[in-house]
Amino acid sequence: MRGEGGAREPGAVTTPIPRESMAVTERLAYLNHAGVAPLSRPGFAAMLASAEEAAHLGSLSVDAADERREEIRAASAALMGVPVDGVAFVKNTTEALGFVANGLEWSPGDRVLVPAHEFPSTIYPWLALADRGVVVEPLAPANEAGEVPIEVYEAAFAEGPVRLVATSWVQFGRGWRTDLAALGSLCREHSALLCADVIQGLGVIPADLGAWGVDFAMADAHKWLLGPEGAGLLYVAPDRIDSLRVLEPGWNSVVHRKDWENREWVPDPTARRFEGGTMTSAAFAAMGASIDLLVGAGIERVWSHVDAWCGNLASAVAERGLPVWSARTGAGRSGIVTFGTADADPATVASQLVTVGVVCSPRGGGIRVAPHGYNDEADLEHFLRALDTALRS
């Protein structure tokens, strides 16, 4: 499905993430990592190996899987730029957000600031607190890129105490990247909490969440981490762990895990207390292998490559007279480029692209393109040829 002109000479192009590590490159120009990413070959192999061990060894495979998860925890912490004791494994971003929203103690009138154009799962947990008197204040974007400037937050803080700010690091629709360091500093100045959904940045943009002052952060494996659905990460700053009620306490939450006759409630002092029970070993094995792939490639190198790729795409789209809404200069840019399609329906254009082996999404009012560290110049050329054809039809 690569389409005419999609073939390339082996070794002709070097990408930070080796193309051979992604099976999807055999068929598609895959540019939808902001949606659901293809699973990496190492991730796929690790998932199969985990399943095979479970099939052949049963309970004898459990201890090795537990040891591997601790290695994955350490790699995840390094990727996020946080202490390892603050990392917990979760099913998905939504579960992690729920742990934070429902784990905190609230008082009537507590204010939560949230960008108005957030992904639904990033705003629903706070809206659902209305019965506790929590007031959610949506902040409108200041421009077509989706930016909510720090001055908008400052103005909201000036109106009265804020309990928590909830935001995506990178907005899903048009890819605006929030300055979490500046926002974290503002929150600390006003004794407010900062909760960041980092799913659209982690794995493609270098992160230093601990230094930025983020109190809570979460991400799924199935986007830029090149992992499977059903595995994710929750970060809780060590000094905030005791502020969250454990909503799903279980045998894995306590310091004496696997001491089955001890029923005393002594929660683990680390974020492991939020991992109540058994998790899907194969999914986390796959996530870990994909994280190893990214770390081995170097996130700085991955980001440099994706940033340049997106810049070339934006220039080519603008040359065609189409509006590029995503920021491509300054610190607000990300791995997402969203642009308008003139009189053409974005969903129809995206469907036509799929027929010639190009995968992206209709989002943010236009076409959203989200490449990764293995996408090369041939993928860009293939996309542009397919776009030209779709816009003419």
Average pLDDT in the 321-345 region? Answer: 97
Report residue 326 as tokens: 């995503």
φ and ψ at residue 123, rounded to 5 degrees: -115, -30
Sign of the Cα pseudo-torsion (264, 270, 276, 281, in order): negative
Q: Is the pLDDT of residue 365 over 70?
A: yes
**DSSP category for residue 162:** -
CA–CA gap between residue 308 and residue 285 (Å, rounded): 31
Q: Is the pLDDT of residue 358 over 70?
A: yes
User: Per-residue pLDDT tens for 145-186?
Assistant: 999 999 999 999 999 999 999 999 999 999 999 999 999 999
Q: Is the pLDDT of residue 13 over 90?
A: no
User: Per-residue pLDDT tens for 104-123?
Assistant: 999 999 999 999 999 999 99
* 359 sits in which H/E element: strand 358-359
Q: Is the pLDDT of residue 292 over 60?
A: yes
Structural domains of the chain sorted by starting position, each given as residue range(s) with its CATH number in brackets: 19-30+298-392 (3.90.1150.10), 47-295 (3.40.640.10)
Q: Is the pLDDT of residue 10 over 50?
A: no
- For the purposes of burial, counting CB atoms within 10 Å of the CB of 99, is it exposed (0-12), middle (13-18) or buried (19 or more)? buried
Q: Is the pLDDT of residue 258 over 80?
A: yes
Average pLDDT in the 315-344 region? Answer: 97
Sign of the Cα pseudo-torsion (268, 273, 276, 280, in order): negative
